[in-house]
Structure 1
């Protein structure tokens, strides 16, 4: 089956190609960093999505027609059917799924063209209002937290942006953890938010507000979140070692015997044939609801003690003015490694830098212990992000190292 690279991020071009790929009438699409990929893929492939990820390591994920369609149908089963607004890059899985859901529902998506701004978002959202046989057609969209933060800030003085937020039946928010304070702001503004958890390997969000979608199974093995179901990717292109396990199959429900993925393979099978994706995320079930605690491997060793930077970051983001801060690890002459808070200068300067750092350190000490306290607060003009809207953590870390 032919793989056709799509250069650039034109949503209309991707939508045209995706229509053929989903229906089997056209070639599979290669999105992202696809220049080095061969020109043929296995039958049934719809898209190969290559992303750099927040750590800068490229991955080419093979997504079948069946997996993408299963994800779209499960989303409609959970939140309902209607019209979608694309406000994310379509070469990333969250944006791609907006187009897939539209095609599966046989509706043309609304497309936010050009750079994302609250005003452009509001104009596109408010243009979507329509009816079918006298019934209003529900509207939906998908955002990352950074976009939602901009919209909430703008809504404080722009009524059109507030009306746009309230116009959606559901706004899916994923890509990274949504700070509790931001969720509260959104709900106070009348927005109906559903937090999603998933990855390119799961065809996008597959757990909504902590509950798996229809057909999706989630388990915790040695603290790691693992996912099974029809939404799983076929694997990684030209990377058999990470796709097919070299170890014998796990017994159903058996532990892998490690705190994270053992060896390179991230797709494994139980003895009963069930195929699981090992996410590398730490998590637990709380009253039947999945709680994701961050990356297993996003850990520093400070003074001989393991510290989860994701956990520190979640606590730091509860401090006023630091709700979008990023916490990175850097070498430290005394402790080996230490954590550093990096925040936007415009947000942080609303309050004293010294006060914010002290409040963050106190909060981390209270929740984790004194050993996990961030060493300093670094202010930058703007936090670097990936095209998907996620923080570019490796670029942010390099910028902090350059200041030393």
Structure 2
């Protein structure tokens, strides 16, 4: 069970929550913690077979085995899989020290020094932003065979910047329970099946994922309803809402993060997509905060960019025009940074706790 060595308090919390030093099935070789969306970490249980299936499917999609550079925390599944993929292919992975933060110049040096017939790495969107702000790091990454971006949804403007810069970017979707990314650019990897549970008339339903890389349930939670574990057909039911168009999965948002305002439902990620289309916004998070009249009000927290003048009213108008008036943020608050959890995901709970 990998834990963050630099954070003894969190390491102890994980060890206590996941009952380290107590018996476990001999078949399990890895207990990897979830990112703790609900505040209570769970441990996804993996075997050599699930991890090998993930590595093989990834290399098949990318066009062949290669070496990998680690630029993520290795106690999360995305970082750990970078190491495991390299080792499965017979290479010694490169490792970038990110304990003091992500340095684009150091990243460029490490990528240039990485050996192998093909070279891969994986970043979260906040790291990719820093790479694109550095011509040297961008040039180094342009020479790589593929960049996986996951951990959080990649905003469309950021994706366009990466593609315009000539980066071989692959958007990944997955979680600890699926051994990391198992859907690339909306396409399920080899052996993966996507099912939508109870889709609405627009075709949006809860995403369920089946395949050989799905975990063998949670540590000490043998009957958890998120897993359907039958011989040869393990399925994990996510908390994500998605739609499949012509075989391509699009994630709309999380069911457990939806905002109920005035009796209507707003999915934060849908509003964020509109806001991030404004050139004046670098990063954005939308949450619901308590409101005496509406129950919850839609609030946007933004980090302004340097490219154009930030105009909150222009953003509100854009949301009204593209979505509806009820989805428009009642407040738009400028911040210097957004709190993150796990492998680069926005910590909405922390925002609500701070500003409620």
**What SS does structure 2 have at the residue aligned with 1:190?**
coil
Taking a change above 3 Å as real, the CA distance of residues 113 and 31 of structure 1, as seen in their structure-2 partners, is farther
CA shift at 1:6, angstroms?
4.7
* Structure 2 counterpart of 1:63: 46
* 8 Å Cα contact 1:50/1:61 also seen in 2: yes
> How many Å separate the matches in 1 of 2:274 and 2:268?
10
Counterpart mapping for 1:2-401 below 5 A: 6-9=2-5, 33-36=14-17, 37-39=19-21, 40-79=23-62, 80-114=64-98, 115-129=101-115, 137-155=117-135, 160-222=136-198, 223-242=205-224, 265-268=225-228, 274-344=233-303, 347-348=304-305, 351-353=308-310, 355=311, 357-401=312-356
Larger CA Rg, structure 1 vs 2: 1
**What SS does structure 2 have at the residue aligned with 1:76?**
helix
Taking a change above 3 Å as real, the CA distance of residues 382 and 370 of structure 1, as seen in their structure-2 partners, is same
> How many Å separate the matches in 2 of 1:273 and 1:301?
39
**What SS does structure 2 have at the residue aligned with 1:197?**
strand
What 5-or-longer segments of structure 2 have no aligned partner?
199-204
* 8 Å Cα contact 1:44/1:64 also seen in 2: yes
CA shift at 1:273, angstroms?
7.4
Taking a change above 3 Å as real, the CA distance of residues 349 and 378 of structure 1, as seen in their structure-2 partners, is farther
**What SS does structure 2 have at the residue aligned with 1:324?**
strand
* 8 Å Cα contact 1:298/1:310 also seen in 2: no
Taking a change above 3 Å as real, the CA distance of residues 349 and 118 of structure 1, as seen in their structure-2 partners, is closer
* 8 Å Cα contact 2:68/2:86 also seen in 1: yes
**What SS does structure 1 have at the residue aligned with 2:133?**
helix
Taking a change above 3 Å as real, the CA distance of residues 387 and 216 of structure 1, as seen in their structure-2 partners, is closer
**What SS does structure 2 have at the residue aligned with 1:235?**
coil
TM-score, normalised relative to structure 1: 0.79
**What SS does structure 1 have at the residue aligned with 2:134?**
helix
Equivalenced residues, count:
341
What 5-or-longer segments of structure 1 have no aligned partner?
11-29, 131-136, 243-264
CA shift at 1:52, angstroms?
4.3
CA shift at 1:123, angstroms?
0.7
Taking a change above 3 Å as real, the CA distance of residues 57 and 364 of structure 1, as seen in their structure-2 partners, is farther
Taking a change above 3 Å as real, the CA distance of residues 337 and 183 of structure 1, as seen in their structure-2 partners, is same
> How many Å separate the matches in 2 of 1:214 and 1:368?
36
CA RMSD of aligned residues (A): 2.1
